[in-house]
Structure 1
């Protein structure tokens, strides 16, 4: 006589949705291909939206979904934060801030505030340092501690207490699909950063308030429309001064300290070719600011 199969026990967890599993590792080549593909599709979609081509927008959205959508993109981005893929970009920021550690630690009762836009983790270097009161936002939150929010739609600060000492845009600006949108994002950072006020600590004045900006290196090293002098001119027009920079084969890192509160009005930057050649990319920043 055949043995009866033992019925699996049922408990409260049985009816719940599956627990989020750790995604399988994506190869370095597949990671790069996926990220580049979604960037291209997002740019095409922005062009279709601008032309009012509804059918083309729907088609591109389907292509993005077929690749796994924003969730798959973020999975690829998280893979890029692994130590063997270059690691957490905020490590560079924390290394730069070392001269100001003593002053940052002294403010433990009223810590300095950091806004991390496009946050993928709550355990990166800046979060685990204990030096900041962190706020993290992303278009598609990957877990607790990260608010699902579009920076361009975030409510403006009501007063000084709601502004930040550091804003991190790490591999965020390059994901904005059009040049004018990138300029608008940079301009909007001024609404959320605290205004520069001289303190009793020169190190703090050197580094804060500031914008930490990370981009793929080709955005400034191989673009038809953007190089380091062009980027610096745009940032200077907004009242930022370059405090630190680092260029690697894959990424460029900048720390821009806000020095001038009256900037950001009147000076605009159009899309202008500065490096001709068929091998160049089209990354650009168009800045249109109202007269002040």
Structure 2
């Protein structure tokens, strides 16, 4: 009688299967529930860490592991990128860049724009297939070849201009960061990886580059106690960004923020303060302290 080989246990830190391997489909309702649960647990863990409560941290880690951890969250996110679930978010970016396509094609004869994709889930999204970008992809838990396993907050700063990027993508990344102050630090850190606006050539591209492509769950700005679009715009303006494009759907909100200034609005602070009341609100917020 043939015996089945025992499969080795997969640790939470292990990488996911390549994207070409077919994943078991998760329903839309289950996907939303899983993502929301993991977000809530990450928030509780951040609170436990802040209090130094080791017992609570261990209990929350056990809950996260039971749900499948980061790997399961990313599988759910991949499900959300299927065409029948709304599709690849970078398609929106490519639509916004269409008016500059002639300039982009001309630039492509000498160099391609450099893109840093944080939280990358696929090596075959619309940006990757466009041929307009040299894409560097990073993720906390790499899916496989073509995606570097790296934490953006620990990524070494560029030592020279060759390490800078024309565009950074934060698609459904900021909302996964459990701490409001770290979200602000992440936004400020993007500036260290973007090119000087004055170095963008041809000048027709300066309306869109250097830039930050950001995607958030819509409720982060439409139903949060502590965040709305006016506040988000004020935060980004203080960092030297200008809102170039925006698209709001039932589930997501997309932004293209173009960097226009190199200098921060010094001494500006955005605290966590209630903007909307009501028990049905979420607690998404961003804390920024500009030096």
Give TM-score scaled by structure 2 length.
Answer: 0.92
Distance 1:275 1:41 in 2: 23
1:229 matched residue in structure 2: 230
Runs (4+) of structure 1 moved beyond 4 Å?
Answer: 14-21
Distance 1:159 1:199 in 2: 16
Cα displacement (A) at 1:264: 5.1
SS of residue in 1 equivalent to 2:26: coil
SS of residue in 1 equivalent to 2:198: coil
Paired residues of 2:200 and 2:210 also in contact (CA < 8 A): no
Worse-superposed segment, 195-204 or 48-57: 195-204
The answer to whether 1:91 aligns with 2:74 is no
Cα displacement (A) at 1:103: 1.6
The answer to whether 1:158 aligns with 2:156 is no
Deviations 1:45-84 (A, max 9, x none): 0000010011110110000000011111110000000000
Distance 1:152 1:264 in 2: 22
- Structure 2 counterparts to residues 80-119 of structure 1, below 5 A: 80-108=80-108, 109-119=110-120
Distance 1:281 1:70 in 2: 22
Cα displacement (A) at 1:175: 0.2
1:149 matched residue in structure 2: 150
5+ residue gaps in structure 1?
A: 9-13
Cα displacement (A) at 1:22: 2.3
Distance 1:105 1:145 in 2: 24
Cα displacement (A) at 1:199: 5.1
1:139 matched residue in structure 2: 140
RMSD: 2.0
Change (3 A) 1:202 1:46: same
Give TM-score scaled by structure 1 length.
Answer: 0.92
2:13 matched residue in structure 1: none
Change (3 A) 1:124 1:199: closer
SS of residue in 2 equivalent to 1:242: strand
Cα displacement (A) at 1:15: 12
- Structure 2 counterparts to residues 235-246 of structure 1, below 5 A: 235-246=236-247
Distance 2:64 2:232 in 1: 30
Paired residues of 1:198 and 1:205 also in contact (CA < 8 A): no
Distance 2:171 2:201 in 1: 30
5+ residue gaps in structure 2?
A: 11-15
Distance 2:76 2:201 in 1: 43
SS of residue in 1 equivalent to 2:35: helix
Paired residues of 1:89 and 1:170 also in contact (CA < 8 A): yes
Cα displacement (A) at 1:227: 0.5
Deviations 1:175-212 (A, max 9, x none): 00011011000000000011111656443010000000
1:125 matched residue in structure 2: 126
Change (3 A) 1:267 1:69: same
